[in-house]
Amino acid sequence: MKAFGLFSANNYNAAIDAFEAFMKAYPDSEYVGNAMYWVGECYYTQHNYNEALESFSKVISTFPDGNKVPDAMLKVGYTLISMNEPAKAKESLQALVDKFPKSQAAAKAREKLVRLSK
């Protein structure tokens, strides 16, 4: 909660430190995947796209059944767009739609795919 409060206050570096401290202190917590996702959000918001991509990808690979996977897949797509990698972004967004078709993240991915196809 403290880390998320720091994120909400736009204190991204402190939030990253707090999320990482949480993951280190509680490596078996069911919330580690969420913390890892929010580290990615912090980096993404700071336009540190390489680190964001790494964090979001780690959520997907480490917690394939986690509740943050659809959102992480969406953010991988958004991050790739920001990195000027539209073909990879489309691939990632389509994978999200295929794997989690009824998720809110998939709905956002469909909208982004339409815009990328124009």
For residue 69, the model assigns a pLDDT of 97
For residue 12, the model assigns a pLDDT of 94
Q: Cβ distance 59 to 78 under 8 Å?
A: no
For residue 2, the model assigns a pLDDT of 83
pLDDT tens for 95-113 read 999 999 999 999 999 999 9
CA distance 53 to 8: 21
CA distance 23 to 104: 26
CATH pick for 2-116 out of 1.25.40.10, 3.60.10.10, 3.30.70.890, 1.10.3720.10? 1.25.40.10
Q: How many CB atoms lie within 10 A of CB 113?
A: 16
The two structure tokens encoding residue 17:
């430190």
Helix (H) / strand (E) containing 41: helix 32-45
